[in-house]
Each structure stands twice: as structure tokens, then as C-alpha cells.
Amino acid sequence: MSETVIAQLIPIIQSKCPALDFSELTLDEEIQALGIDSLDFLEMVYQIENHFGIELPIEDLEKAHTLRTLIDAISAQTAEETVIETP
């Protein structure tokens, strides 16, 4: 799991949950438990896709119930982008 992805994802999550204490957050935390509803989640996904220059497949988003699964989905897509862009 990429520490870079995690570091870049934190400000995006903070924009949706400004009162969240990240010092006690775990990767297995349920996204809904953070107070992120479905609309906030879609807005967050849009920010993630723009930030990382990727498109997250619907199948991956349907499985993204925890921060870990969301980070895994982002990491998988950024790895694919790197492979595609390499000559």
C-alpha cells in the first residue's frame, strides 16, 4: 500500500470531514462511520480522480467500504496508469 497515496488522500478526506481526528484513524475504518454519506462519497471520488488523474471503476467503488479498500483501488489505478504511460 502506497504511503504516497495515503498522504495525498488525507487532505481530500479532511475536506469532507474537517472535524475528524486522523491520529486515531485506522485503514479498516468504515467510510460511512467517518460521517461521509453517499453524496459526499461521490464528491470525494471526483476529487480523487481529478487529483490522481485516474478513473476509478464502478466495481471498485462498490467494494470500497473502508479506507483500505479505497486506497487499494486508487493504488491499482495509479499503478496501471504508470504501466500504460511507460514507453
Question: Does the reported pTM lie above 0.85?
Answer: no
23-67, pLDDT tens digit by residue? 888 899 999 998 899 999 999 999 999 999 999 999 999 999 999
- Can you read off the three cell numbers belonging to residue 27? 485503514
- Can you read off the three cell numbers belonging to residue 8? 495525498
Helix axes 38-52, 3-16, angle to 10 degrees: 140
CATH number of 3-85: 1.10.1200.10
Q: Alpha-carbon distance 1 to 16, whole Å?
A: 23
pLDDT at 86 over 80: no
Report the half-sphere exposure of 44 (CA within 13 A, side-chain side): 26
